[in-house]
Homo-oligomer: A and B are copies of this chain.
């Protein structure tokens, strides 16, 4: 079951400049940056409990965010729903005809299990599902 909005991801062409903008100009709390090898991103976390804003930038200039930035320069990239049972939600949504960008959930940032719904299944919106590790 989807239990909340985990985060909104913003693709940024210059991570340092964007961190400064969200920290100093918008006054949000900056929690730090994590390299997420599986997603090929450097991700800067701005908690706004119980959700957060994540600034995503290509790790080593590669991966899907690099392609997105090439096309669009920057922008709102995806939103992510938290789920308490990602496998059940994937099965349920597949049953309804939703397509996914992977066959099964895989490890993402903060040791969550994640999977993306194909944007063509959601009128052009990229939506991630994320299940936190047990105990979180």
Which chain A residues have a beta carbon within 8 Å of chain B's beta carbons?
1-2, 4-5, 8, 10, 12-14, 17-18, 21, 25-28, 48, 51, 53, 72-79, 81, 93, 96, 98, 119, 122-126
Contacts and interface: CB of A to CB of B under 8 A. Distances in A.
A10 B75 contact: no
B123 A14 contact: yes
A71 to B, nearest CB: 11
B1 A96 contact: no
For the residues of A in contact with B, the DSSP-based class is mixed
A51 B79 CA distance: 13
A136 to B, nearest CB: 19
Contact of A12 (B75, B78, B81, B123): B123
Contacts of A124: 72-75
Given A5-B51, A25-B96, A76-B78, 15 more contacts: A2-B27, A4-B48, A5-B48, A10-B125, A12-B123, A25-B93, A51-B51, A53-B79, A74-B123, A74-B124, A75-B119, A75-B123, A75-B124, A76-B125, A76-B126
